[in-house]
Amino acid sequence: MNVKTSSVIHATPSACWELLGRQFGDIGEWATAIVKSSVDRAPQLGAERTCQLRGMGGMGPMEIHEELVGFNDEARDLTYRVIRGLPKVIRSAQNHWTVEDNGDGTSTISSHATIELAWYMVPMIPMMKMQMGRDLRRVVEELKFRIEEGVPHPRKREAVVAIAS
C-alpha cells in the first residue's frame, strides 16, 4: 500500500530541510501524533530514531524505532524504515521524504509511505489507506505550520497541554 502527499511550503528549501532532515530526531517537538522522539546520533545512514506515538491509523499508543536507510543532505531527501514496534497487522513500513526548490522562494515537501500489511488485512486496505493518508496529511500540515510560523501547530500545543493535565 502506498500513501503519498505533498505540500508547498513558503520557505526556502534549506529552511525546510533543516527541520525535516537535520533535525530528524526532533519530530516529537512539532508532530501531534508523536509524544516524544529521540535519535541515537546525528542524521546519517543507520541512525535510529525512537518515537513514542499517541496513536495513528486507528492504532493505540506505541513505541516505534526507525532506521535511516537513505539520507542525502545535498539532495535534501531521506528514507527511513520502521525496524521495531509495528503492530502485527503491519509487516513493514517505510517513508521517503524530499524537499524540492520551486525557484520562487517556496519549496515542495513530499512524502511517499510504503506499508506492507499482513495478508489477512488485504480487505481493509481501502479503509487503512484512507486513515493513514489522513494521518500523513496532518503530519505534513503540522510540518508546514512549524516551518512557516516558527512554532508548533495549535493541535500540538493543545496535545502538550492535555498530556500535562
Stated pTM of the model: 0.91
Eight-state DSSP code of residue 19: I
* Cell output for 67: 532506521
* Cell output for 2: 502506498
Given a cut of 70, whether residue 76 has pLDDT beyond it is yes
| CA–CA dist 111, 129 (Å, integer) | 14
Express each pLDDT in 78-124 by its tens digit.
999 999 999 899 999 999 999 999 999 999 999 999 999 999 999 99
Residue that is written with C-alpha cell 535510529 in the block: 48
